[in-house]
Amino acid sequence: MPRLSSPEPPSPQPPHPLAAVLIAQLRERDDARVMDFGCGQRRNTAALRAAGLDVFSLDDERAGDAAAIATIPDRFDAVLATHALLHGTPKGIAERIDAIAGLLHPGGVFAATFASIRDARYGRGERIADQTFAPSEGDERGVAHAYYDEPRLRAVLGAYFTVVSLEERGVDGVAGRWAHPTTPLRGAVHWFVNASKRPAPQ
């Protein structure tokens, strides 16, 4: 079966900091296969390919559908998700993490961002589910965002991954500007996750 591919896109802005971390991790792996999960305008795809990595870009629509993710035939050495797992309910995000884990080789790298309860938007707008709110105004009006504290995030990752590093960072100047063209972020805080898929139990 032929491998999935996607065309080389323009890069509208600098890549996410996690893209640089992933490039450093895979520097010695010239055959590494990487998925840019929820690629947006593909700023990370461009950086990963410029570093010589073999990249498949999964668009935001498919990245939001766990069933669609599970049908992807390729397997990957790393998955980078810098915004696609910010949106949705905890249940839906957990289902997508499950599908991502199924795409990674044992030992594969999972680099991702998740929304923190220290984000200024936490608790604002319409409550959709536990620790999940949809803004009532702005560019992401009506879009559910799930927020995590450290124990809760470690719990959802722990089903499949060993957490290598976990850090909270302000991201007002990092998040993709295409998602916030009229209402720039103020006080946005994300978890930066770097994790390794555990081998299947023997």
Give 41's DSSP letter: T
Percent of the chain with pLDDT over 90: 78
Task: Phi first, then psi: give them for residue 81, nearest 5 degrees.
Answer: -130, 100
Beta carbons within 8 Å of 71's beta carbon, 6+ residues apart: none
Best CA proximity match to 103, nearest among 18, 191, 34, 5:
34
Task: Provide the whole-model pTM.
Answer: 0.89
pLDDT at position 185? 80
Give 6's DSSP letter: -
What does the domain layout of the chain look like in residue ranges?
29-197
What architecture is the 29-197 domain classified under in CATH?
3-Layer(aba) Sandwich (3.40)
- Radius of gyration in angstroms for the set of CA atoms belonging to the chain, rounded to a whole number: 16
pLDDT at position 74? 93
Is 154 exposed, middle or buried, given 0-12, 13-18 or 19+ CB atoms closer than 10 A?
middle
- pLDDT tens profile 6-29: 444 454 578 999 999 999 999 887
